[in-house]
Amino acid sequence: MSILSGLSHGIKISITRSITTAFEQYMANIMWEEEAYSPADFMKEWQSYIHKHASWYHDVPDDVKNDPRFHEELAGKINQVVAKIFSEEPTAEQIETLNAQQEKLGTDYDFSCKAEARFYIDLLNEYEKKKLKG
């Protein structure tokens, strides 16, 4: 039996959520530049995130956290979550919103997944607010 599957449902959901949040924060920090992505840098970011913000980390017994199999399973889970993030296509609404924003603001960002589209929508909204304040 895998170590991850032996954890409570709530902890497993929290682990997935922490991977998603940390990954999206990391990608935002590098402006979703896939060429700038570094697995080692992301792992540092994720480890920092779980130590500071993830309640599940404190709920997992130390013997589990120290087990190499747990880390192998976590690495697999991280790969699954990251692959899922990249595979979720932007919604029609996101595409429409981004295309309109980019036309209005004269930008030309490429985006390939839902999370990246959300990042650029937020970025362009902030840019437009600052531009209006002038």
Tens digits of per-residue pLDDT, 71-118?
Answer: 999 999 999 999 999 999 999 999 999 999 999 999 999 999 999 999
Q: Which candidate, 71, 31, 27, places its Cα nearest to that of 47?
A: 71
Residue 89 φ then ψ, to 5°: -70, 150
CA distance 85 to 17: 12
Tell me the two tokens of residue 28.
């935002």
State yes or no: pLDDT of 134 exceeds 80.
Answer: no
* pLDDT for position 1: 76
CA distance 37 to 125: 24
CA distance 75 to 81: 10
DSSP 8-state symbol, 91:
P
Tell me the two tokens of residue 18.
């922490």
Question: What is this structure's pTM?
Answer: 0.90
Tens digits of per-residue pLDDT, 19-54?
Answer: 999 999 999 999 999 899 999 999 999 999 999 999
Which amino acid does the sequence have at 72? E
